[in-house]
Structure 1
């Protein structure tokens, strides 16, 4: 009797361990990927230190791309949440670790010169080539649209500047991966703003919010608003990202808004 009882108990435990019986004969079409964004970063250090930091407990990313050779390392499965975004917001979504795939590129970022200027490190062509291939693969598998790729400086403009002004966003745009304001249309709008006058600060704040940025909406040009303007400029006009709400910045915002309506 004891042997029979023990056998029954083992069978019951085995059944519990295998989980519930689930009918999978039906499937909903109302779903999409949990990953809605791809966030790009630089590591601010070399490859050995990058691997050490990103394979630890405090910070992680789904992918790391070396500089030379441009090896792609997968550090976290895409189905798992990596800890790369921190306090962040884009298009009203906050704490983007839960809804994004993080890609770190080995790049030292910048050094401070004697006169206080930031001297930025460039990215290698091979590294960007590898990134483009990876981005296209991720976007195809997760059915993401252009605009899903953003920088750490976009989602946290008050505290982050990566991937920096030397990151080639235009190259990604040429590959069809990110929206880009058409140069001719920007020139026309810039002339209009130069002759008619600049929009109010509230207009810039609303336009930046429409792009996805978290920005104050009080109509004042405070430091927080300047930081968001600078983040936008760093992406679309990296030669000058001074945070000034000028005619060219207004033109780029207007053209991007017009293109999004097409």
Structure 2
């Protein structure tokens, strides 16, 4: 059967090359976009270096947004696979290059100093243009706000971009990302403080939200990294990876609202 199928496929390809007419008058409604996620990155480089890297034969992304001016560059067509996610997972889907659009923002990332790690902010124009671009992408591909995630979400053991200064809450206010309701978090937090959840609970909740996380109930380094990635996105003022009542309340509220 495999040989027959291969032969038919080759005949079809040969026919197309020789002018075969294909009837397209019966389009199916049983399909959706190959794009399931939009993944946010920073470049850790200036514009010139970012363009050189992203237009070479290694890493790539669909879009690059400069800083000043915040020009939006399309580097890869959306129907093509860009190489920006690597070893990654979200909501059970793995190796997300095939199912995602990658957006890189020109940003140095961070610098380590004697006083600690300093992160570089994004420009207002960058985020303004990003919001317009994201709204267009989500509309065209029929995606919900939960489809927009960070590189640190899909690869928390390897990546920290787009970093703690990326304005997730601003995107959420524009209807383009998820954010926990502050009043609900405040109401839930005392209960988690009085009776802290187990590590197994955190692992189950993080997995339900979308992260790849161990499910063995032990607080190992891998679990700590996932908690830190979640905190960096939703509580960027402190993302040490330590489970606490506020983190638990945010997780519970986000999962209850999905």
TM-score (norm 1): 0.91
**Residues 111-126 of structure 1: pairs in structure 2 closer than 5 A:** 111-115=111-115, 117-126=116-125
Inter-partner Cα distance in structure 2 for 1:201 and 1:79: 40
Structure 2 partner of 1:148: 147
CA shift at 1:203, angstroms?
Answer: 0.3
CA shift at 1:30, angstroms?
Answer: 1.1
Inter-partner Cα distance in structure 2 for 1:99 and 1:194: 39
- Equivalent in 191, 208, 211 of residue 206 of structure 2: 208
Which region of structure 1 is more displaced relative to structure 2, 223-232 or 176-185? 176-185
CA shift at 1:16, angstroms?
Answer: 5.7
Inter-partner Cα distance in structure 2 for 1:64 and 1:32: 25
**Is residue 205 of structure 2 the alignment partner of residue 167 of structure 1?**
no
Unaligned runs of 5+ in 2: 1-13
Structure 2 partner of 1:234: 232
Structure 2 partner of 1:4: none
Alpha carbons of structure 1 residues 29 and 244: separation in structure 2 relative to 1, 3 Å: same
**Is residue 1 of structure 2 the alignment partner of residue 30 of structure 1?**
no
**Residues 30-179 of structure 1: pairs in structure 2 closer than 5 A:** 30-115=30-115, 117-179=116-178
1:110-138 alpha-carbon deviations (Å, 9 max, x no partner): 001125x2110000011000000000000
Inter-partner Cα distance in structure 1 for 2:165 and 2:97: 25
Radius of gyration: which is bigger?
1
Task: After the TM superposition, list the runs of 4 or more consecutive aligned residues in structure 1 that deviate by more than 2 angstroms.
Answer: 14-21
1:63-112 alpha-carbon deviations (Å, 9 max, x no partner): 00000000000000000000000000000000000000000000000001
SS at match of 1:64: strand
Inter-partner Cα distance in structure 2 for 1:216 and 1:19: 54
Alpha carbons of structure 1 residues 33 and 114: separation in structure 2 relative to 1, 3 Å: same
CA shift at 1:20, angstroms?
Answer: 3.2
CA shift at 1:200, angstroms?
Answer: 0.5
Structure 1 partner of 2:10: none
1:140-198 alpha-carbon deviations (Å, 9 max, x no partner): 11111110000000000000000000000000000011121100110011011112x11
Unaligned runs of 5+ in 1: 1-13
1:16-64 alpha-carbon deviations (Å, 9 max, x no partner): 6345332211111111100000000000010000000000001100000
Aligned CA-pair RMSD: 1.2
SS at match of 2:253: helix
Inter-partner Cα distance in structure 2 for 1:232 and 1:122: 19
Q: Figure out how many residues of one structure are paired with residues of the other and give that number.
A: 245
